[in-house]
């Protein structure tokens, strides 16, 4: 996470620490699912507050929901963490470059390599 707002939102959705902190520490399945459920409203909250982030994009929110099932077992959340970080960054960058949301959706659908 390189952007301060990205770090803030990751903390708000429960993924503030790096994924390696969580992996192997018990079941991460509920953490992945809760983060995906909170992501759209966290992004929207910061947009509504006038921060440099676009409203939550339904396509990327759908990809995030699917990403909760991309980790190989219930004891990791590497994929969900990486996808959430990328989705948040795309929303921030899209504030200045509208094409960023579509580029990120294409990347996550076609080129992202699951752990």
pTM of the model: 0.92
Domain count, the chain: 1
Mind listing the pLDDT tens digit for each residue in 74-112?
888 889 999 999 999 999 999 999 999 999 999 999 988
Whether pLDDT at 2 is above 70: no
Residue 42 has what pLDDT? 98
Q: In angstroms, rounded to a whole number, what is the distance separating the alpha carbons of residues 45 and 79?
A: 24
In angstroms, rounded to a whole number, what is the distance separating the alpha carbons of residues 27 and 111?
27
Q: Is the pLDDT of residue 72 over 80?
A: yes
Domain that holds residue 82: 4-111
The conformation of residue 10, written as its DSSP 8-state character, comes to: H
């Amino acid at each position: 996470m390189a952007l301060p707002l990205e770090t803030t939102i990751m903390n708000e959705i429960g993924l503030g620490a790096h994924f390696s902190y969580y992996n192997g520490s018990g079941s991460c399945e509920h953490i992945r699912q809760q983060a995906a459920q909170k992501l759209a409203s966290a992004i929207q909250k910061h947009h509504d507050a006038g921060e440099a982030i676009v409203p939550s994009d339904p396509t990327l929110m759908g990809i995030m929901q699917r990403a909760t099932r991309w980790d190989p077992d219930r004891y990791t959340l590497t994929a969900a963490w990486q996808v959430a970080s990328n989705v948040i960054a795309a929303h921030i960058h899209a504030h200045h470059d509208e094409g960023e949301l579509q580029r990120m959706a294409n990347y996550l659908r076609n080129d992202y390599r699951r752990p």
